[in-house]
Structure 1
């Protein structure tokens, strides 16, 4: 039995290499506390440091400005503030509501992969994909969900019958984050986990 939700570019470096966009390895000199120094030649550090505050981290508003200035959305509509919030929640392990530079680099890699994946289905460059293409994209990322779940995703993320890039990314973030929660708890890979009520709310409402 395929383990449910085992996908979404979870193994980022491998996926990026498969897509011809190998991601640079981590900076071993980087730190999480204070204002770490990174090579001036790293373009991501330039975008990040121009926005980050004294704590060396960025919140949702700053992330939105950073991604917009960096232009990772390309010709698509810039990311909404809500999408930026859930992108932070996906990687915000310490629940500060902010991202450090290493987390930002990981997010950038995921966004690059999702964007190229979206482009393979948005062949007319309209900035949207149709429902059947959206379903194919979800399955192509390795998620094993049933027809009812796909319908729930389509109802949640479509606008006038089409899925825009911003909503596509929001869906990818949710799928990855919730799948990570599920996978960590389902250590035996049995396909089910148990939650108490408050635990369930904390896991789902924080994303």
Structure 2
């Protein structure tokens, strides 16, 4: 694990044996062990006795030699989309996408009407009609409140509705996130667990720290620590929008923004 700064995936533990562990794995308030290890880099992993049980803990490490320690995965960032170069000839896939674009625009026009904008209820109808065709998702569709949140996060002009370009951007994102959800919903239950959510977030191009993963679990998981498709998409829409908002305010790119109370409330209350 030399030099790693990110969350260790399940495969790491399948192919790397532990160098030391407590002799007995029991449910006790305090456990202490003494180990002799050669100089190297190590990861220390505390855990609760029962899976998915949260709890505060103190980890003390006493070393006879000089040692340095830091929390793994303390970087917070989102991958920026790269601009694609336009080709001269359309491939079969591109032509198919172009045809889909026409159908998509026609459907949008029928629902949006003359103003070519849709509100939360109309967005819900569109998304649920499309999602119904994907039987393997095992979802009851999107709640109205979820669609209100999506409208707020995608609405760039403050009209309370989204236009075709905003909707197209949202739909492209949902399609890519849907593939990620299906990849981790291996039992086709319509949910993924909190551990799989970490990997899904990473696959979507987001890098978060442990505190943020805990917040996501508290906000979007049910009592069994499972996240359904509706909550999964809402989480990703919010992550994407909040990163975009931050970068918009961070004009000098130093990773720090300054908001007055009006800007803060507009950003948080509408979203």
Equivalent position of 1:94 in the other structure: 157
Q: TM-score, normalised by structure 1?
A: 0.79
- Ranked by relative contact order (alpha carbons within 8 Å, sequence separation 6 or more), the top structure is 1
Does 1:171 pair with 2:238? no
Equivalent position of 1:190 in the other structure: 254
**Paired residue total:** 186
- Between the aligned partners of 1:133 and 1:103, the Cα distance in structure 2 is 29
What SS does the aligned partner of 1:150 have? Answer: helix
Moved more, 69-78 or 53-62: 69-78
Q: TM-score, normalised by structure 2?
A: 0.61
Structure with the bigger percentage of helix: 1
Residue from 109, 112, 120 that aligns with 2:175: 112
CA deviation after TM superposition for structure 1 residue 144, in Å: 2.3
Preserved contact between residue 4 and residue 191 of structure 1 (Cα < 8 Å): no
Does 1:47 pair with 2:107? yes
5+ long unaligned stretches in structure 2: 6-73, 85-92
Does 1:84 pair with 2:156? no
Preserved contact between residue 5 and residue 145 of structure 1 (Cα < 8 Å): yes
Preserved contact between residue 78 and residue 207 of structure 2 (Cα < 8 Å): yes
CA deviation after TM superposition for structure 1 residue 182, in Å: 0.8
Moved more, 95-104 or 135-144: 135-144
The 5 Å alignment of 1:1-207 reads 4-7=76-79, 10-11=80-81, 42-71=102-131, 74-75=134-135, 76-160=139-223, 161-207=225-271
- Aligned Cα RMSD in Å? 2.8
5+ long unaligned stretches in structure 1: 15-21, 28-38
